[in-house]
A and B are shown apart, each in its own frame.
Chain A
């Protein structure tokens, strides 16, 4: 049973560029959440997708956008990258909006230079 997978593992971008990160949820899950984890910090909630719609959003600017596909996989897009966007981006999946637990992927390490 495949868990949550994310790609790429690492990414280096230049300030001002755009980036797309990808996530495939655990088998049987239909809800995907994205978190940003800056170095030395706890993860911060970016947004959540269910039924191809954004259901909840954290305190992140509109430069952060996402999409969910019919197969439940998801993308996180960040435009006009800033140095402060350098972080580990974690994807988590769950069934519906199960309140019990979310399963996390290994993350994508984004470095903005």
Chain B
């Protein structure tokens, strides 16, 4: 079983739609959680951190459920420019201040005009 699992998609949605991505992780020692975005043939970039209380950044809302080891990302009012692969990322405790970020396989979003 992969440490971080996501539905690979693709999710094909019309502009303006609301879309939700889910992610589960297996390591209960995971300390912190993130969503990254990767455009086609580009490097991944941090989209947002995920907190237990839930957090919002414009049209994007992230939620974490530690008990269920489940992370979600909601995108409202989808734009064409949101088309990308969304990577769920978990930071495993490695000792000291060393970060070991484990990436999910990503969910591909294609927003259609």
Query: Do A and B make up one complex?
Result: no
Q: Which residues of B contact A (CB under 8 A)?
A: none
